[in-house]
Chains A and B, each alone.
Chain A
Amino acid sequence: MIQSRSEKIYQIVAHIILMLMVFCIAMPFILLFMSSITDENTLIQNGYSYFPAKFSLTAYKYIWNQKAKVFQAYGMTILVTVVGTAINIAISAMLAYGLSKAKLPLRRFFAFYVFFTMLFNGGLVPTYMMYTGTFHIKNTVFALIVPAFMMSAMNVILIRTYYQTSIPDALYEAAEIDGAGPFKVFTTIALPLGKPILVTMGLFAALGYWNDWTNGLYYLSGTEGQKLYTIQNLLNQMMSQIEFLSSNSSAASAASSDIAKVPQTAVRMAIAFVAMLPMLVIYPFLQKYFQKGIALGAVKG
């Protein structure tokens, strides 16, 4: 097909606008990175800048010297993400599998039971009082895994729909005739055949855990809670208390000369960069699933 003149112009304009968009998306990240490799004195004089007068890796060296805390926070994030996502997918898939059975007794009741949680919720106050007062999860690792993120009704419904539309009943029946019990049918048929949707939903669950800082904010406090900080909680704490990273920060009387040595202005940006790096690295490999997941949500809600 021959491109008309107006079509050519349209393509050029579209590219220009979209490149501008990519520019707007990228520039804030670049500022963060450039600031993190700028010399501390230059930062104090000229502020955060795209074209620093003097480069320095002191901020990263400082973080490396305090690596115990950073590594521990990263370890916590990874632990919470892996365990949380695994539980999330397991209980969501099993619930969705049951709901996908056309003959399930009380099926409408259970479907409504799941769905209603999307319409109405108790909010922070009762949730907080219940988790701290009844279940005593304050300052335990459960505080980071259990509240809010362990299951989403939306994901259960999407998985159920996938099971209903993509796995023919005949497959289950064939397995049952072969003598497979209900658990066996689930693990040998529903789990492997549901892989596309389970991977996608798992990815969003993992993203939720990886980026979460609210559970830590609500349920972790004091030195006891700080031991459980994830990387996001660490960042949150450092926003107001930059010297938090140094090992003796808990002492309120931390020698001021000690704090002065911290390249505060640069460290702020360096630690944020360290925290976001894994996501930037992993995204190109997973973007297909993210895009698919969002399109799925578009079908319903």
Chain B
Amino acid sequence: MANVTEAKAPSKSMRKFKTWAPIFLMMAPGLIYLFINNYMPMAGLVIAFKQINFSDGIWKSPWIGFKNFEFLFKSKDAFIITRNTIGYNLAFIVINTVLGIALAILITDIRKDGMRKVYQSAILVPYLMSIVIVSYITYAFLSAENGLINNSILPLFGNTEGVSWYMEKKYWPFILTLVNTWKGIGYGTLIYISTVNGIDRSLYEAASLDGAGKWKQIVHVTLPSLKGTVITLTLLNIGRIFYSDFGLFYQVPMNSGQLNEVTNVIDTYVYRSLLQMNNPGMASAAGFYQSIVGFILVLVANLVVRKIDADSALF
């Protein structure tokens, strides 16, 4: 029997199997989860080329070629959701970068340790709140009947009529940008703070000996040292420019239909088409569009990062 000889002197592959099998067993739950949660939906993207029938599921629904895409790109929604998704993301990238760096420099320069810690802690608090709570806070300010702005602030300027905030499109680009900044600025600022803290102190001493004042130190030492982080974060954000914070665009405007033209992004469009408008074909086409373009963008962004600074590249 072959097994006898193997038992005496286990073959190399057998020994290898014995060493690694327990490790693979430990890795298995995580690998299986990724298979279910990530890889199966990737394969499921083919649904965009099918006539969705929920009872038949992804695999048995009949093929219809590019019909879903034809409908999507013939509608004016395709343009609106693309414009909004990219436009808001670009605004967020610029504001969060500029404001994040400015706040990081100010906070790290504070000499009183206690106060510096207070600022550093306070800035992250909104980041920890769920977007649902943020939408309640927004409502306290903007509610047409009970909101602070209509009842207490606008009358100071002689406007007693108030504004129907949740009906008026023109204000929302600013409102959403403001809310996003309020909620998200802490995260970026803390990243920049950790980069600023990593700058070699002797660079500042040398600059100061050369007679450079505070402003010149910032321009000639701090900002150049932050360049790598800024480029990496920006390119990574550009790689994600086709994705947005669903809650911010769905929950904060309270799903108000009148605002759709300025608040609808790809993520909210996919959700509404799938589960509210009962139009899964459009949802799947828009989702496919987002996945593919998002994937291309992340690859391109990474390629650019690697050209500029190989160490900062994701892969």
Contacts and interface: CB of A to CB of B under 8 A. Distances in A.
Interface of A: 6-7, 10-11, 14-15, 17-18, 21-22, 24-26, 28-29, 31-32, 35, 43-44, 46-50, 90-92, 94-95, 97-99, 101, 104-105, 110, 113-115, 117-130, 133-135, 146-148, 150-151, 153, 156, 181-183, 186, 207, 210-214, 218, 232, 235-236, 239-240, 265, 268-269, 272, 275-276, 279-280, 283-284, 287, 290-291, 294-295, 297-298, 300-301
A26 B190 contact: no
Interface in B235-262: 236, 246-247, 251, 254-255
Nearest to B107: A18
B133 A48 contact: no
Given A24-B182, A49-B148, A124-B267, 20 more contacts: A14-B106, A22-B118, A47-B143, A117-B38, A125-B270, A125-B280, A125-B283, A125-B284, A128-B275, A129-B44, A130-B41, A148-B37, A153-B34, A182-B22, A211-B131, A235-B136, A239-B136, A283-B125, A294-B124, A294-B187
A154 B137 CA distance: 31
Nearest to B48: A125
B128 A279 contact: yes
B190 A291 contact: yes
A123 B288 contact: yes
B147 A122 contact: no
A117 B34 contact: yes
A11 B108 CA distance: 11
Contacts of B148: 31, 47-50
7 interchain residue pairs of minimum CB distance:
A122-B41, A126-B44, A47-B151, A95-B30, A211-B130, A123-B287, A295-B194
Contacts of B9: none
Contacts of B146: 43-44, 47-48, 265
Contact of B57 (A26, A134, A283): A134
A297 B236 CA distance: 12
A276 B111 CA distance: 32
A91 B267 CA distance: 29
B30 to A, nearest CB: 3
Contacts, number: 283
A140 B182 CA distance: 35
B47 A98 contact: no
B290 to A, nearest CB: 6
Contacts of B1: none
Contact of B42 (A6, A121, A134, A135): A121
Instruction: Say what secondary structure dominates the interface of chain B.
Output: helix
A113 B31 contact: yes
A232 B96 CA distance: 27
Interface string B217-233: 00000000000010010
Contacts of A213: 130-132, 247, 251
Contacts of B288: 123
A182 to B, nearest CB: 4
Contacts of B177: none
Nearest to B284: A125
Interface of B: 16, 19-20, 22-24, 26-27, 29-31, 33-34, 36-45, 47-48, 52, 54, 57-58, 103, 106-107, 109-111, 115, 118-126, 128-133, 135-137, 139-141, 143, 145-148, 150-152, 182, 187, 190-191, 193-195, 213-214, 229, 232, 236, 246-247, 251, 254-255, 267, 270-271, 274-275, 280, 283-284, 287-288, 290-291, 294-295, 298-299, 314-315
Given A101-B23, A156-B30, A214 B45 contact: no
A101 B135 CA distance: 45
A283 B128 contact: yes
- Residue picked from B23, B119, B191, most chain A C-beta under 10 Å: B23
7 contacts: A119-B295, A121-B291, A122-B38, A122-B43, A122-B45, A213-B131, A294-B190
B136 A272 contact: yes
A287 B137 contact: no
B231 to A, nearest CB: 13
A290 B148 CA distance: 33
A26 B232 CA distance: 31
Given A17-B106, A25-B123, A291-B124, A121 B38 contact: yes
A130 B44 contact: yes
Contacts of B52: 129
Contacts of A235: 130, 132-133, 136
Contacts of A147: 37
A183 B22 contact: yes
Nearest to B39: A117
A105 B133 CA distance: 47
Given A94-B26, A101-B23, A125 B287 contact: yes
A123 B182 contact: no
Contacts of B213: 6
B54 A129 contact: yes
Contacts of B24: 98
Contacts of B232: 301
Contact of B214 (A10, A48, A272): A10
A26 B118 CA distance: 13
A151 B33 contact: yes
A214 B213 CA distance: 50
A119 B40 CA distance: 15
Contacts of A21: 103, 119, 122-123
